[in-house]
């Protein structure tokens, strides 16, 4: 039976890209965005034992380098509005081929990857969602080759 599992990876050290995103958003007038975090997001479709898969995939240093990354198998529920940005024509075949052909993960059927932004926004849930959507359109995604979703 095919099951899906998410892997959310972030840097342990200060993320200069997230800092630049915050500064740029504030310069663009997004003063209510107080903090930005960035995550590498993967979604695997897996056939087989999930616990075994979790244990092995978290040791693949192409995805998680224990020296600099921290990871989780779910998107944490916190005060940050999450914006998932994905390249529309990336079918994940590059990562899939590395994991299957070079690292022996034969039980993976499909991989999706994206960048996930976490925005700490001063405002209620509805306002924050609107601000996050505008931030995605203005800076975080180019909709000519990317799509985004507010989670």
Rule CB under 8 A: which residues touch another protein? 16-17, 20-21, 24, 27-28, 87, 89-90, 94, 139-140, 142-146
Which of 94, 109, 115 lies closest to 38 in space, CA to CA?
115
Q: How many CB atoms lie within 10 A of CB 31?
A: 11
Least distance (Å) from another protein to the CB of residue 144? 4
Q: Which is nearer to another protein, 105 or 117 (CB)?
A: 117
Least distance (Å) from another protein to the CB of residue 24? 5
> 23: which residues sit within 8 A by CB, 6+ positions away?
none
Which of 82, 113, 102, 94 lies closest to 7 in space, CA to CA?
113
Least distance (Å) from another protein to the CB of residue 130? 19
The phi and psi torsions of 120 (rounded to 5 degrees) equal -90, 115
Strand-pairing partners, residue 46, are 3, 108
Least distance (Å) from another protein to the CB of residue 139? 7
Q: Which is nearer to another protein, 36 or 46 (CB)?
A: 36
Q: Which is nearer to another protein, 16 or 79 (CB)?
A: 16
Least distance (Å) from another protein to the CB of residue 12? 18
| CA 88 – CA 119 distance, rounded (Å) | 22
| CA 84 – CA 58 distance, rounded (Å) | 21
Q: Which is nearer to another protein, 70 or 142 (CB)?
A: 142
Q: Which is nearer to another protein, 58 or 87 (CB)?
A: 87
């Amino acid at each position: 039976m095919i099951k899906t599992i998410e892997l959310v990876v972030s840097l342990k050290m200060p993320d200069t890209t997230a800092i630049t995103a915050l500064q740029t958003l504030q310069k663009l007038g997004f003063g209510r965005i107080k903090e930005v975090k960035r995550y590498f997001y993967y979604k695997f479709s897996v056939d087989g034992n999930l616990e075994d898969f979790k244990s092995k995939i978290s040791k693949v240093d192409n995805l998680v380098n224990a020296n600099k990354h921290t990871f989780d198998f779910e998107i944490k529920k916190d005060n940050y509005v999450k914006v998932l940005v994905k390249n529309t024509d990336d079918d994940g075949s590059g990562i899939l081929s590395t994991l299957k052909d070079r690292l022996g993960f034969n039980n993976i059927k499909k991989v999706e990857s994206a960048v996930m932004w976490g925005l700490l926004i001063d405002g209620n849930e509805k306002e924050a969602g609107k601000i996050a959507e505008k931030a995605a359109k203005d800076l975080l995604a180019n909709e000519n080759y990317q799509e985004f979703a507010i989670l």
